[in-house]
C-alpha cells in the first residue's frame, strides 16, 4: 500500500525549509475525493502516518503541519505523533471555546506546537495566545488593515510567529517581510523574483552540454567523455560517484570512459540531472531543487505508463528543467536559449502544449493538491490512478534520497 501525500513547503524569511504542510490520503479511493470532511481527512491521515509509511518518509526530518478539527483533538489523535514530527494546525472552522482552550493548554504543556489556521481575528482568541506558537494568515482573504489588527493583538505575545499563506509573488513576500511575518507558504519561490541575465560558470556550461548529449536518441560516448575530460570538477565528482559500493566494481577505474561505461545511461542521466539542478544557482532554496528532481523522476515513471510511446530519458529531462526559470530567476525562454537542448525538450516547456507539457501540469497539480484537475489530466492522458500514485510516491522518495546523497 502506498502512503500518498501532497506536501507544500513552508519556508522561513531566508527561504530555508522550515517544514511541510501535509495533505494525506489513505488508499486509492481517497486520493481524489469529491468531498472529504475535516474529521475524516485528519483521521485517515493520522492512521496512515502512524500505522503505514510514517511521516518522516515525506518530511526527511522536518516537522509536518497537519490540520485538526476539535473532534480529532478531543480523541487524542495529535498525541499519536511525537512533538518533533507534528505541528498541530487548528482548522479555521473550529470555534474558540472552553473545551478547545483546555485541550490547547494540555497540548502546549506536552510540548506540541500549535497553529491557528486561516486566522480571522476575534478578541476571544486572546485567551489562547499563551499556548499558540504560529498564526497563519491567508493573504488572499486578509486585508492589510486586518493584518495590522492581528499584529496589535499579539504585541504582548512574542511566542507567536506570523505565517503568510498563499504568497504568490516576490512583491507579496517583501511586503510580508515588512509586516514582520517570519514564515511563508505558497509558490513565490517557484516564480522568477527578478528578471535578469545570469552567466553560467564553466562547470554549468559543461553540464548543459552533457544534458544535451543525453537528450539525443543515440548517445555519443566519445563526445560525453570529451566533455568530462575538459572539466576537472565534473571528472572528480563522476569518479567519486562511481566509487559508490552500489556499482559493485570488480576492477579499478583508469579512464573517464571506463567510469561512464560502469555508470550506464540511466545512472549517468540521474547523476547529471542532480548536479545541474544543485549547482545552477546555489542561493536558491534546496527544496526547489528537490522539487525539480521529484518532477523529473515522476515524469520518467509516468512516461512508462503512457499509451503513446515516449522516451523516458526525455520526459526525465523535461521534468528536471520545468523549474529552471525559478532556479535561475529568469524567464523560461531566456534560460532555454542558453542551453543546447533538442527542440522536443524546449517546446513543451515554452508552449505548455502536448503530452510532455501535460505531464508537467499533472505534477504541478499534485503538488498543489488540486485533485479535481489531477483527475481531469489523468483521464485525458488515459492513465490509471494507481499508476499515478505509485509514480509520484516513488519520485518523492527517490528525490529525497538523491538530495541526501548530494548534501552528504
Please report the DSSP string for 70-127 in residue order. HHHHHTT-GGGS-TTTEEEEE-TTSPP-HHHHHHHHHHHHTT-EEEETT----GGGGG
Average pLDDT value over all residues in the chain: 78
Domain shared by 149 and 271, yes or no: no
Q: How far apart are CA 314 and CA 161, in angstroms?
A: 44
Listed residues 190, 217, 236: the one ending a domain = 190
pLDDT of 287 over the 70 cut: yes
pLDDT of residue 32: 38
Q: Is 53 domain-assigned?
A: yes
Over range 290-294, report the average pLDDT.
82
Q: Which residue has the higher pLDDT, 373 or 268?
A: 373
Angle at 286 between CA 11 and CA 19, to 5 degrees: 35
Q: Over range 108-117, report the average pLDDT.
A: 95
Tell which wins on pLDDT, 77 or 280: 77
In the DSSP assignment, the letter for residue 230 is: T
For 30, the domain range is 3-190
The answer, yes or no, to whether residue 313 has pLDDT greater than 90, is: no
User: Residue 84: what pLDDT?
Assistant: 87
Please give the pLDDT value at position 35.
Answer: 44
pLDDT of 405 over the 80 cut: no
Stretch 130-159: mean pLDDT: 94
**Do residues 33 and 128 both lie within one domain?**
yes
* Predicted local distance difference test score (pLDDT) of residue 246: 57
Q: Please state which of the ranges 42-46, 65-69, 385-389 shows the lowest mean pLDDT.
A: 42-46
Radius of gyration of the chain (CA): 23
Residues 227 and 372 in one domain: yes
Report the domain count for the chain. 2
* Predicted confidence (pLDDT) at residue 112 exceeds the cutoff of 50: yes
With a pLDDT cut of 90, the percent of the chain lying above it is 25
107 and 211 fall within a common domain: no
Backbone angles phi, psi at 88, to 5 degrees: -85, 115
Cell numbers for 94: 473550529
CA distance 282 to 332: 18
CATH number of the CATH domain containing 381: 1.10.3210.10
Alpha-carbon gap, residue 280 to 201, rounded angstroms: 9
Q: What is the mean pLDDT of residues 145-152?
A: 95
Phi, psi of 76 (to 5 degrees): 80, 15
Q: Does residue 182 sit in the same domain as residue 257?
A: no
Domain termination residue (choose one: 142, 160, 190): 190
Please state, in angstroms and rounded to a whole number, the distance separating the CA atoms of residues 316 and 34.
Answer: 31
Q: Residue 213 has what pLDDT?
A: 76
Q: Between 273 and 388, whose confidence is greater? A: 388
Measured CA to CA, the distance from residue 15 to residue 136 in angstroms comes to 17
Tell me: pLDDT of 356 over 70: yes
Q: Are residues 213 and 148 in the same domain?
A: no
Q: How confident is the model at residue 196 (pLDDT cuts 50, 70, 90)?
A: very low
Is the Cα torsion angle 375, 377, 383, 387 positive or negative in sign?
negative
Residue 202 pLDDT greater than 60, yes or no: no
Which one has a higher pLDDT value, 322 or 125?
Answer: 125
> What pLDDT is attached to residue 26?
47
Residue 197 in domain: no
Which of the pair, 291 or 215, is modelled with greater confidence? 291
* 285 and 390 both lie in a single domain: yes
CA dihedral of residues 98, 104, 108, 111 (deg, nearest 10): 140
Looking at residue 143, which CATH number applies to its domain?
Answer: 3.20.20.450
User: Which of 138, 163, 190 finishes a domain?
Assistant: 190
pLDDT digits over 213-271, tens only?
A: 776 767 788 888 888 876 666 776 776 677 666 566 556 566 778 778 888 877 777 67
Q: Residues 180, 209: one domain?
A: no
My answer on whether 30 and 90 are in the same domain is yes
Q: Is residue 195 part of a domain?
A: no
Model pLDDT, residue 153: 94
The confidence score (pLDDT) of residue 43 equals 58
Amino acid at each position: 500500500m502506498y502512503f500518498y501525500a501532497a506536501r507544500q513547503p513552508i519556508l522561513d524569511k531566508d527561504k530555508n525549509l522550515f517544514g511541510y504542510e501535509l495533505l494525506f490520503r489513505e488508499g486509492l479511493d481517497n486520493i481524489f475525493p469529491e468531498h472529504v470532511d475535516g474529521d475524516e481527512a485528519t483521521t485517515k491521515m493520522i492512521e496512515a502516518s502512524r500505522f503505514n509509511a510514517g511521516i518522516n518518509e515525506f518530511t526527511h526530518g522536518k516537522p509536518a503541519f497537519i490540520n485538526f478539527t476539535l473532534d480529532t483533538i478531543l480523541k487524542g489523535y495529535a498525541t499519536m505523533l511525537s512533538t518533533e514530527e507534528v505541528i498541530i494546525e487548528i482548522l479555521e472552522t473550529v470555534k474558540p471555546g472552553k473545551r478547545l482552550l483546555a485541550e490547547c493548554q494540555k497540548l502546549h504543556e506536552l510540548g506540541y506546537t500549535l497553529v491557528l489556521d486561516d486566522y480571522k481575528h476575534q478578541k476571544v482568541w486572546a485567551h489562547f495566545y499563551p499556548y499558540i506558537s504560529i498564526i497563519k494568515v491567508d493573504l488572499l482573504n486578509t486585508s492589510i488593515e486586518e493584518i495590522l489588527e492581528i499584529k496589535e493583538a499579539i504585541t504582548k505575545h512574542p511566542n507567536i510567529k506570523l505565517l503568510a499563506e498563499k504568497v504568490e509573488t516576490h512583491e507579496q513576500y517583501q511586503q510580508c517581510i515588512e509586516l514582520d511575518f517570519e514564515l511563508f507558504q505558497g509558490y513565490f519561490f517557484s516564480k522568477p523574483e527578478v528578471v535578469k541575465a545570469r552567466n553560467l560558470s564553466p562547470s554549468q556550461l559543461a553540464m548543459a552540454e552533457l544534458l544535451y548529449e543525453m537528450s539525443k536518441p543515440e548517445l555519443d560516448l566519445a563526445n560525453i567523455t570529451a566533455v568530462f575530460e575538459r572539466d576537472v570538477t565534473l571528472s572528480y565528482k563522476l569518479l567519486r560517484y562511481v566509487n559508490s559500493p552500489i556499482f559493485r566494481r570488480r576492477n579499478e577505474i583508469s579512464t573517464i570512459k571506463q567510469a561512464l561505461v560502469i555508470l550506464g545511461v540511466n545512472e549517468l542521466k540521474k547523476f547529471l540531472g542532480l548536479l545541474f539542478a544543485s549547482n545552477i544557482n546555489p542561493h536558491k532554496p534546496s527544496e526547489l531543487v528537490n522539487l525539480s528532481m521529484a518532477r523529473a523522476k515522476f515524469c520518467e515513471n509516468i512516461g512508462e505508463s503512457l499509451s503513446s510511446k515516449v522516451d523516458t530519458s526525455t520526459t526525465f529531462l523535461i521534468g528536471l528543467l520545468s523549474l529552471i526559470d525559478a532556479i535561475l530567476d529568469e524567464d523560461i525562454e531566456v534560460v532555454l536559449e542558453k542551453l543546447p537542448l533538442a527542440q522536443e525538450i524546449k517546446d513543451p516547456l515554452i508552449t505548455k502544449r502536448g503530452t510532455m507539457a501535460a505531464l508537467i501540469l499533472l505534477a504541478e497539480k499534485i503538488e498543489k493538491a488540486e485533485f479535481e484537475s489531477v483527475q481531469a489530466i489523468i483521464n485525458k492522458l488515459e492513465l490509471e490512478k494507481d499508476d499515478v500514485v505509485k509514480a509520484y510516491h516513488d519520485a518523492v522518495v527517490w528525490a529525497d534520497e538523491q538530495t541526501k546523497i548530494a548534501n552528504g
